[in-house]
Amino acid sequence: MDDDAALVARLRAGDETAFVILVRKYQAGLVRLAQATVGSNAVAQEVTQDTWLAVLRGVERYESRSSFKTWLYRILLYRARSAADRERRAGSPEDVTGEHFDGAGAWASPVEPWVDRANDRLTAERLAQRVTGLLPMLPYAQQQVVVLRDVEGLGASEVTELLGITDGNQRVLLHRGRARLRSLLAEEVSTY
């Protein structure tokens, strides 16, 4: 995180390269969390872009009370929740289904695999794709906690701060989300 502090200082000084580095570092994670929140890749991309604009506009107000990553994810969650509310009010278009999209308008297969390091990459990628496909079957709160903890690698305290929940609630949501994903995967395996 120390390098984040240096990058933020450079960004405040107008260094565009610092911004590019931060985007490369956090873009994929922001999109995944946004997609878990809004359910649509197109809306997730838009929310992520809005988040980066908010960072550029508000970097002078960042006070380092939390890590840059936590501050960034908090901005994204605020914007994603607002976008999700707008999307629910607007309803979903009926013609988004097709070979590349599912019924909710999200990509049918994930743009990026979750697993970067695995002995058996082929199996790991298939499993990650399956888990990604099963995430929307979790209740909203479980889905967010699982994505933040297991996909983005945030610590428990960061997740509780971001979501405004207690540590005990975070642990329960994570446990139930993981257990539900294991159960769903086991059901699929038993049908083969």
- For the four alpha carbons of 133, 138, 140 and 143, in that order, the dihedral sign comes to negative
pLDDT for the residue numbered 89: 74
pLDDT for the residue numbered 72: 95
The parent domain of residue 61 ranges over 1-92
Dihedral, 165, 169, 171, 174 alpha carbons, nearest 10: -80
CATH classification at residue 47: 1.10.1740.10
Residue 103 lies in a domain: no
SS (H, E, C) the chain: CHHHHHHHHHHHCCCHHHHHHHHHHHHHHHHHHHHHHHCCHHHHHHHHHHHHHHHHHHHHHCCCCCCHHHHHHHHHHHHHHHHHHHHHHHCCCCCCCCCCECCCCCECCCCCCCCCCCCCHHHHHHHHHHHHHHHHHCCHHHHHHHHHHHHCCCCHHHHHHHHCCCHHHHHHHHHHHHHHHHHHHHHHHHCC
Residue 98 lies in a domain: no
pLDDT at 118 over 80: no
Residue 66 lies in a domain: yes
Residue 100 lies in a domain: no
Average pLDDT of span 115-144: 72
Residue 99 lies in a domain: no
87 and 16 housed in the same domain: yes
148 and 64 housed in the same domain: no
Give pLDDT tens digits for 80-106. 988 888 877 766 544 444 455 566 656
31 and 83 housed in the same domain: yes
Last residue of a domain, one of 25, 58, 92: 92
Global confidence as pTM: 0.59
Portion of the chain with pLDDT greater than 90, in percent: 35
CATH classification at residue 130: 1.10.10.10
Instruction: Please provide residue 163's backbone torsions phi and psi, each rounded to the nearest 5 degrees.
Output: -90, -10
8 and 52 housed in the same domain: yes
Place of tokens 């278009």: 93
Portion of the chain with pLDDT greater than 70, in percent: 78
Residue 101 lies in a domain: no
Residues 6+ apart with CB under 8 A from 87: 38, 39, 40, 43
Number of domains in the chain: 2
pLDDT at 115 over 80: no
69 and 119 housed in the same domain: no
Q: Are 55 and 75 in contact (CB under 8 A)?
A: yes
- pLDDT averaged over the chain? 81
Least confident of 57-61, 96-100, 105-109, 136-140: 96-100
pLDDT at 1 over 50: no
pLDDT at 147 over 80: yes
More confident of the two residues 127 and 53: 53
7 and 82 housed in the same domain: yes
Give pLDDT tens digits for 170-180. 999 999 998 88
